[in-house]
Amino acid sequence: MNILDKIIADKHKELLLKKLVVPVSQLENSALFKRETISLANALRESKSGIIAEHKRRSPSKSIINQSLNIEDVARGYEHAGVSGISVLTDGKYFGGSLDDLLYARAAVKMPILRKEFIIDEYQLLEAKAHGADVILLIAAVLEREQIKQLSEFAKNLGLDVLLEVHNEEELKKSIMPSLDMLGVNNRNLKTFEVSTQISKDLSEKIPDDFVKVSESGISSVEAIKELKQYGYEGFLIGENFMKTNNPGENAKKFIEELSS
């Protein structure tokens, strides 16, 4: 079983328990559930940096990245740096994240927040809304077209933006539909962990112009972003490169200054 299959098998088990402990009515009655969301797609279209900076403690490919920071400080640092949005990993077992991380990040900043999770069920979209997210991620590698349609339409009805992630042409072809806002190309093959921005370049012209193009993972240089911009990318998801330092916000600030110089 590859890592992605393991993560999804665990999500199914986790969801069974969660649904018993926190009923849908509790999520729908939370104060944040009524909050008006902020569009990441709009922020990316308007923004100069286009950086979506991620809070990432550890990962299956890199093990521990940074476990010693306070998420509110990280989120505020990113906002101060001029990022266009913040990504918060909420998976506990593989990434060391939680829904509380989402709440703390929401309390700290006013900008769009992506719930970075392995979404397979509408319940997780209700959780995202109830914990202050503005955007959700759907991963084409683990969803059928019908599931992508059902989940993305459900998310749109909740006022959430949808970022659909692909890693090859087949996933892209099966996924294109009007209920998506952003199409993300993951430069990391989630089955082998190989990373190359070449896949973003190769798929760029196959992504219809109606979607904001996002290049995800393995980005560590300003030059890589300048190059990807030539291929029409407006969003750049960066985790490890910022999180491996003691001050991710300061690091993101220098990165963005260099990008705009």
Ligand X SMILES: O=C(O)c1ccccc1NCC(=O)[C@H](O)[C@H](O)COP(=O)(O)O
| Residues 113/141, Cβ–Cβ less than 8 Å | no
| Residues 54/70, Cβ–Cβ less than 8 Å | no
Residues taking part in catalysis: 54, 56, 116, 165, 186, 216-217
- DSSP class of 110: -
| Binding span for ligand X by CB under 6 A among 42-50, 54-62, 152-160, 252-260 | 54-62
| Binding span for ligand X by CB under 6 A among 18-26, 36-44, 58-66, 150-158 | 58-66
Q: Give the residue with the Cβ less far from ligand X, 27 or 49.
A: 49
Number of helices followed by number of strands (H, E) in the chain: 12, 10
- The C-alpha torsion from 140 through 135 and 15 to 9, rounded to 10°, is 30
Using CB under 6 A as the binding rule, whether residue 117 contacts ligand X is answered as no
The footprint of ligand X on residues 61-100 (CB under 6 A) is: 61
State the nearest-atom distance from the C-beta of 15 to ligand X, in Å: 18
State the nearest-atom distance from the C-beta of 231 to ligand X, in Å: 18
| Binding span for ligand X by CB under 6 A among 77-85, 125-133, 143-151, 185-193 | 185-193
* β-bridge partners, 166: 185
State the nearest-atom distance from the C-beta of 190 to ligand X, in Å: 4
Q: Give the residue with the Cβ less far from ligand X, 30 or 168.
A: 168
Cα 241-164-157 angle, rounded to 5 deg: 125
The footprint of ligand X on residues 188-247 (CB under 6 A) is: 188, 190, 216-219, 237-241
Spatial separation of the C-alpha atoms in residues 81 and 55, rounded to whole Å: 14
| Residues 137/214, Cβ–Cβ less than 8 Å | no
| Binding span for ligand X by CB under 6 A among 38-46, 182-190, 206-214, 245-253 | 182-190
| Residues 81/67, Cβ–Cβ less than 8 Å | no
State the nearest-atom distance from the C-beta of 217 to ligand X, in Å: 4
CB atoms within 10 A of CB 257: 13
State the nearest-atom distance from the C-beta of 251 to ligand X, in Å: 12
* List of residues 6+ apart from 194 with CB closer than 8 A: 188
Half-sphere exposure of 115 (CA within 13 A, CB side): 32
Instruction: Tell me if residue 82 falls in helix, strand or coil.
Output: coil
Of 37, 39, 49, 59, the one binding ligand X by CB under 6 A: 59
Output the residue with the shortest Cβ distance to ligand X.
239
Contacting positions for ligand X (CB under 6 A) = 3, 54, 56, 59-61, 186, 188, 190, 216-219, 237-241
